[in-house]
């Protein structure tokens, strides 16, 4: 099976300081991976490289067996398949519907189709009936789920999650953990950075331990 992502001798430095130094790492399709390690160990840097938002200082990244050349057209194509959801996602101070419809409007999707997709995606993330709620007035966990719903509406193949539960209370974390297996049924690959020590095992996730920018 072709790997989804492969990294070979990937280095990333900021002002001469090494943030990431990975000799070899492969991600296979339709699996869930958890990046685990202390603050500053390089999890976000790795996620941003996989999202093609950050170019490594050296080394090669492959997507579906193709070496990324960091050319504009290619980046646009891959970014359509790979979506990063940030730790504190930016949502408009508007309804959940407005937030979710925004990207579809830009892509010229008809209004009726937008409504249908929104209803389906809200059911998937457990927020049925939230269409008219102000997105910024929701709990941290609910906002994170709106952000995931927004990402999924663009139908990515890879969902990258940067510490999705870091701003959540216990109840929201439990709801979020219950959501991940449901997302896996969407033919998705999920790569998440997590602070929760025992969550990856509960989910049957592959664990990628990191420290000082390296795999451990």
Identity of the residue, 152 or 193, whose beta carbon is nearer to ligand ADP in the bound complex: 193
Give the shortest CB-193-to-ligand ADP separation in angstroms. 6
Where do contacts with ligand ADP occur on this chain (CB under 6 A)? 14, 19, 37, 39-45, 193
Q: Are 214 and 46 in contact (CB under 8 A)?
A: no
Give the shortest CB-194-to-ligand ADP separation in angstroms. 11
Alpha-carbon distance 37 to 28, whole Å? Answer: 21
Alpha-carbon distance 27 to 10, whole Å? Answer: 14
Identity of the residue, 51 or 100, whose beta carbon is nearer to ligand ADP in the bound complex: 51
Identity of the residue, 43 or 150, whose beta carbon is nearer to ligand ADP in the bound complex: 43
Half-sphere exposure of 30 (CA within 13 A, CB side): 5
Q: Are 201 and 18 in contact (CB under 8 A)?
A: no
DSSP state, 68? P
Give the shortest CB-2-to-ligand ADP separation in angstroms. 27
What count of other Cβ atoms lies within 10 Å of the Cβ of residue 7?
22
Strand order in the sheet with 214-215: 82-85, 158-162, 189-194, 32-36, 206-211, 214-215
Give the shortest CB-117-to-ligand ADP separation in angstroms. 32
Give the shortest CB-128-to-ligand ADP separation in angstroms. 33
Identity of the residue, 18 or 183, whose beta carbon is nearer to ligand ADP in the bound complex: 18
Identity of the residue, 181 or 209, whose beta carbon is nearer to ligand ADP in the bound complex: 209
């Amino acid at each position: 099976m072709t790997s989804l992502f492969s990294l070979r001798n990937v280095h990333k430095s900021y002002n001469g300081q090494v943030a990431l130094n990975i000799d070899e790492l492969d991600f296979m399709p339709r699996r869930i991976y958890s990046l685990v390690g202390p603050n500053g160990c390089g999890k976000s840097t790795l996620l941003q490289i996989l999202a093609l938002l950050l170019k490594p200082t050296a080394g090669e990244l492959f997507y579906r067996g193709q070496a990324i050349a960091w050319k504009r057209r290619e980046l646009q194509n891959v970014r359509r398949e790979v979506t990063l959801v940030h730790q504190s996602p930016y949502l408009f101070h508007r309804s959940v519907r407005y937030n979710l419809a925004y990207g579809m409007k830009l892509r010229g999707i008809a209004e009726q189709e937008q409504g249908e997709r929104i209803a389906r995606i809200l059911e998937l993330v457990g927020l049925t009936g939230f269409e008219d709620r102000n997105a910024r007035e929701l709990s941290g966990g609910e906002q994170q789920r709106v952000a995931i719903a927004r990402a999924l509406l663009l139908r990515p193949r890879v969902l990258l999650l940067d510490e999705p539960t870091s701003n959540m209370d216990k109840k929201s974390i439990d709801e979020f953990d219950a959501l991940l297996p449901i997302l896996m049924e969407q033919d998705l690959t999920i790569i998440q950075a997590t602070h929760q020590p025992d969550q990856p095992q509960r989910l049957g996730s592959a664990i990628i331990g990191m420290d000082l920018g390296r795999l451990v």
